[in-house]
Amino acid sequence: MNVWLNFLIDSLAFGAVFMYGSTGEILTEKSGHLNLGIPGIMCMGGAGGCLVLNMIGKSSLPGFLIVILGILGALVMAMAMGLIYSFLTVTLRANQNVTGLALTTFGVGLMKVIMSKLDATVYLVGPKMLYRWPFADRTDALQCLGVMFFLAVIIAVMASVILYRTKMGLHLRAVGENPGTADAVGINVTRYKYMATCIGSGIAGLGGFYYIIDYMASQEAYLSLEAFGWLSIALVIFALWRPHMTILGSTVFGFLFSCSSYIANIEGITVTMAAKPLLKMLPYVVTIMVLIVTSIRNKRENQPPASLGLSYFREER
Amino acid sequence: MSERKNITVHEPLFHLAKRAQIQPWKAWAIRLAAIVLGLVVCGIVAFILIERLHQNPDRIDDFYYSFIKGSFTSNRKIWKFLKNMAILQCISLAVTPAFRMRFWNIGAEGQTLMGVLGCIAVAFYLGGTVPDWLLLVLMFIAALVCGAVWGLIPALFKAKWNTNETLFTLMMNYVATFIVSYFLVIWVPSGSSTLGKLKYGKLPSFGHDYLVIILVVLLLTIFLYVYLKHSKQGYEISVVGESVRTAQYSGINVKNVIIRTMLVSGLLCGLAGYLIGAGLDQSVTTESVGGQGFTAIMVSWLANFNPLVMLITSALISMLNSGAAQISQDFNVSGALPDVIVGIILFFIIGSEFFINYQVIFRKADRTAAKEGVK
């Protein structure tokens, strides 16, 4: 297979990490909560999944069950993190930035402690081939497109449909734009905020799990996970708060991020060592550009949810 | 009885009301209780995570003693604690003016890193060719300029087009990180990307290596307190923070205030970068600031944006950090344990703010019952 196609597939596979992260973050932000804890949540999702696999990785359970249980482990752990965040910010009305940052500190730290105790020969070596179904036997880049990649695409599309085509989505967006008005129409603001944050966190956690178990599939993968959590938050802006746009956006991000390693293989292009950091900087610079352009154009449908970052207290005017 | 109660007027078990004010001692008692509760939970979590602890549970008092042992049992540890605290305090001071204006600058990490890079770049290129005092001055200027530029860019866009500053400053952190790694590749031809300690451009010291840094930060704390509480500019910052509309009505040029305040923030971050670069490391890595830019946000917020109270909160966080580092050393666990412990304590302090700002009023069961004539 030629270099370009490999490159594209690798970008897609890498992008799925952000696809999970930013789809989750979009759901949360649509309820008016800027969750800066996403890096910590993704890390803990990864840890949760690996923790389960560490217990069942060598058991005689059928393959699909191992896959599902691993995913559930990631989901549950990440949702627990989301629950901490939503309890503090929704019920106790704490400052969202501070809570999110504390959650990231906590999550990244706890993940490192947990992962250092797990045995990679159990949680990684066997299960990683299961997660690469149906392309596990391939030797080219296609082997990276496993179950969890397709799951990411499905979740992103579904999230868009729910947000923009159902009543529930309309209610959720109303909560994020103006919780006071939503409350007045009889929408249960607290419930929507909790649900969006917890489900969003669960989805984001899958991204961390996918990164460790499938995309990188290495013992040290967890050490580099945090940076991609922040990149997922960047991608939310890039995707203009639309989940289906994250499919495109994450591919572009994956492309930009992995071009530093691929571009050297393309004939006629020479890359110096010094250019690599600059190439890796591109996703962030592009995000800043998008942020600036959308704020200059000031189109209403491309703006962040109006009450993003603000706590809601019914009795406050 | 219970059925009868059901037909009475429905009053929830408790409801919440915003407190008009709270006595300072009560607020501090609540915070203290939260920290104690947090420490208890830390103990439980550590009990699960640390093998040596659940094998011999009586070492739990060792666990708590480590928080003191980590910072205060030798002269060297005390100085190190004071140094850590001073740097954290400096960055926390830097983010404070912007926060008082409700400008969510979470880019202190990048702004400080650019400060370090600026002053090290000057030392790298000019070291040995100019007199030492001039080099230090040039490094100082470079650090401040780099920090200020990194703070000003998001501020200009915020003022002109209302670009979301939280997300903008967050991205700028990473741009700064990669700029540093770019320069490291250029400066270190061997490809290892680690720059050794430079020979030139060390901040002169007297008494103790760290004394200068500590004194500078103390002076800065007092200066910023006066600036924020007793100057016209500080007042303008508070007004813009309370309500942009009020500020506009009273003739404050909001755009100017935003830009000026972020300039101050950026300059102070640059200064912190200078203290790290010229005062401590004489080198730069992508980890020079090591996440303190983020921790500083929490320190500043916990102190309610008051520079003097910040001395307490930065001391608390530094103490927790070095205590937890001591624990991971003594009990042989992963070096990431401090983050877990600081995270847990922060959750509790963050949560406790709710009980300071709001009060929970329980239903008075008797009164309802009496009204319905049940009793």
- Let me know: does B269 contact B108? Beta carbons within 8 Å: yes
Residue-level pLDDT at B371? 53
Shortest Cα–Cα distance, A50 to chain B (Å): 16
- Let me know: does B117 contact B285? Beta carbons within 8 Å: no
Residues B203-243: tens digit of each pLDDT: 887 878 889 999 999 999 999 999 999 999 999 999 998 88
Domain assignments of chain A as residue spans, ordered by start = 3-300
Angstrom distance (rounded) from CA B153 to CA B161: 12
Residue B164 domain boundaries: 78-319
As a whole number of Å, the CA-based R_g of chain B is 25
Residue-level pLDDT at B40? 92
| Chain B partners within 8 Å of A257 (Cβ) | none
Q: Which residues fall within 8 angstroms of residue B120, CB to CB, at 6 or more apart?
A: B139, B195, B198, B201, B277, B282, B283, B284
Residue A53: CB atoms within 10 A of its CB come to 28
Residue-level pLDDT at B6? 54
Nearest CA in chain B to A95: B350
What percentage of chain B carries pLDDT values higher than 70? 94
- Let me know: does A179 contact A306? Beta carbons within 8 Å: no
Residue-level pLDDT at B304? 87
Determine, for residues B106 and A295 on separate chains, whether the beta-carbon distance falls below 8 Å: no
Q: Model ipTM?
A: 0.90
Residue-level pLDDT at B56? 78
Residues B51-84: tens digit of each pLDDT: 777 777 777 888 888 888 888 888 899 999 999 9
Nearest CA in chain B to A89: B351
Determine, for residues B167 and A101 on separate chains, whether the beta-carbon distance falls below 8 Å: no
HSE of B18, CA atoms in CB hemisphere, 13 A: 8
| Chain A partners within 8 Å of B104 (Cβ) | 97, 309
* pLDDT bucket at B9, cuts 50 / 70 / 90: low
Q: Which residue in A127, A140, A163, A215 sits closest to A30, CA to CA? A: A163
Does residue B374 carry a pLDDT above 50?
no
Determine, for residues B161 and A281 on separate chains, whether the beta-carbon distance falls below 8 Å: no
Determine, for residues B351 and A295 on separate chains, whether the beta-carbon distance falls below 8 Å: no
Cα of B274 vs its chain's centroid, Å: 18
Q: Does a structural domain hold residue B363? A: no
| Chain B partners within 8 Å of A116 (Cβ) | 333-334, 336
Residue-level pLDDT at B375? 41
| Chain A partners within 8 Å of B174 (Cβ) | 227, 230-231, 281, 284
Determine, for residues A97 and B297 on separate chains, whether the beta-carbon distance falls below 8 Å: yes
| Chain B partners within 8 Å of A295 (Cβ) | 157, 161-164
In one-letter notation, the amino acid at residue A221 is A
Q: Does a structural domain hold residue B138? A: yes
* pLDDT bucket at B8, cuts 50 / 70 / 90: low
Does residue B294 carry a pLDDT above 70?
yes
Residue B226: CB atoms within 10 A of its CB come to 12
- Chunked mean pLDDT (size 10), chain A, 317 residues: 78 91 94 93 95 87 88 96 95 90 93 89 82 74 80 94 94 93 93 96 95 87 87 87 91 82 65 77 87 84 81 76
Helix (H, G, I), strand (E, B) or coil at A304: coil
Residues B298-318: tens digit of each pLDDT: 899 988 899 999 999 999 999
Angstrom distance (rounded) from CA A1 to CA B265: 52
Among B18, B157, B170, the residue with its CB nearest the CB of A315 is B18
Determine, for residues A101 and B294 on separate chains, whether the beta-carbon distance falls below 8 Å: yes
Helix (H, G, I), strand (E, B) or coil at B16: strand
**If you search the block for the tokens 């699909």, which residue do you land on?**
A64
Determine, for residues B172 and A97 on separate chains, whether the beta-carbon distance falls below 8 Å: no
Report cis status (omega within 30 of 0) of the bond before A304.
no
Residue A218 touches chain B, beta carbons under 8 Å? no
The encoded tokens of residue A278 equal 């600059």
CATH of the domain at B223: 1.10.3470.10
B241-250 contact pairs (CB < 8 A, 24+)? B241/B100, B241/B101, B241/B102
Angstrom distance (rounded) from CA B329 to CA A218: 27
Helix (H, G, I), strand (E, B) or coil at B206: strand
Shortest Cα–Cα distance, B164 to chain A (Å): 8
Does residue B179 carry a pLDDT above 70?
yes
* pLDDT bucket at B368, cuts 50 / 70 / 90: low
Residue-level pLDDT at B296? 94
Helix (H, G, I), strand (E, B) or coil at B47: helix
Which helix (H) or strand (E) is B132 found in, with range?
helix B132-161
Residue-level pLDDT at A264? 64
Q: Which CATH number fits domain A3-300: 1.10.3470, 2.40.128, 1.20.950, 1.20.120?
A: 1.10.3470
* Range ranked top by mean pLDDT from B56-65, B113-122, B329-338: B113-122
| Total CB pairs under 8 A between chain A and B | 153
- Let me know: does B187 contact B126? Beta carbons within 8 Å: no
Pick left, alpha or beta for residue A303 (phi over 0 → left; psi -120 to 50 → alpha; otherwise beta). beta
Domain count, chain B: 1
Determine, for residues B336 and A273 on separate chains, whether the beta-carbon distance falls below 8 Å: no
Compute the average pLDDT of residues B180-207: 83
Residues B118-147: tens digit of each pLDDT: 999 999 999 888 898 899 999 999 999 999
Buried b (16+ CB within 10 A) or exposed e, B274-308: bbbbbbbbbbbbbebbeebbbbbbbbbbbbebbbe
Residue-level pLDDT at B373? 47
Determine, for residues A34 and B343 on separate chains, whether the beta-carbon distance falls below 8 Å: no
* pLDDT bucket at B4, cuts 50 / 70 / 90: low
